[in-house]
Amino acid sequence: MIAGLFIPRISAAGAKAALFIGLLFYILTTFIFKVDIHFVHIWGIEFLLNMAVMFGVSHFYPNTRPPWSSDKTILDIQPWRYAKPFSIVLTIMIIALYIWLGQ
């Protein structure tokens, strides 16, 4: 689905259809039909199927919005003043969690 973000030709309808078809394909090949190939190969086939579905659906239902915003207003972006203390506390908490759970 990340391809839908990086390829401007893919529409939202194409990404939604690929999400549904990919999930259906994975459920069918994993739980319904006995497919005797490795799951990584199933992921590769699913990737190709998703790309084909996204491009196919996007061909018939093209993207109506421009890929980039035409609004060029300048925003006043101020850094969050608690960013450094918060990141230090968060890092200490994660390290403490690893030490505590690693015992």
| Closest to 58 (Cα-Cα) out of 15, 20, 6 | 15
pLDDT of amino acid 76: 80
Quick check: 8 pLDDT over 90? no
Please compute the mean of the pLDDT values over residues 43-50 and round it to a whole number: 93
Quick check: 71 pLDDT over 80? no
Tokens of 100: 């505590």
Please compute the mean of the pLDDT values over residues 30-50 and round it to a whole number: 91
pTM of the model: 0.61
Name the band, by pLDDT with cuts 50, 70 and 90, for residue 24. very high
Reported as a single tens digit per residue, the pLDDT across 55-69 is 999 999 988 876 666
| Closest to 9 (Cα-Cα) out of 71, 72, 70, 56 | 56
The mean pLDDT of the chain is 89
Give 23-29 contacts, CB < 8 A, sequence gap 24+.
25/49
pLDDT of amino acid 29: 93
Give the chain's largest Cα–Cα span: 57
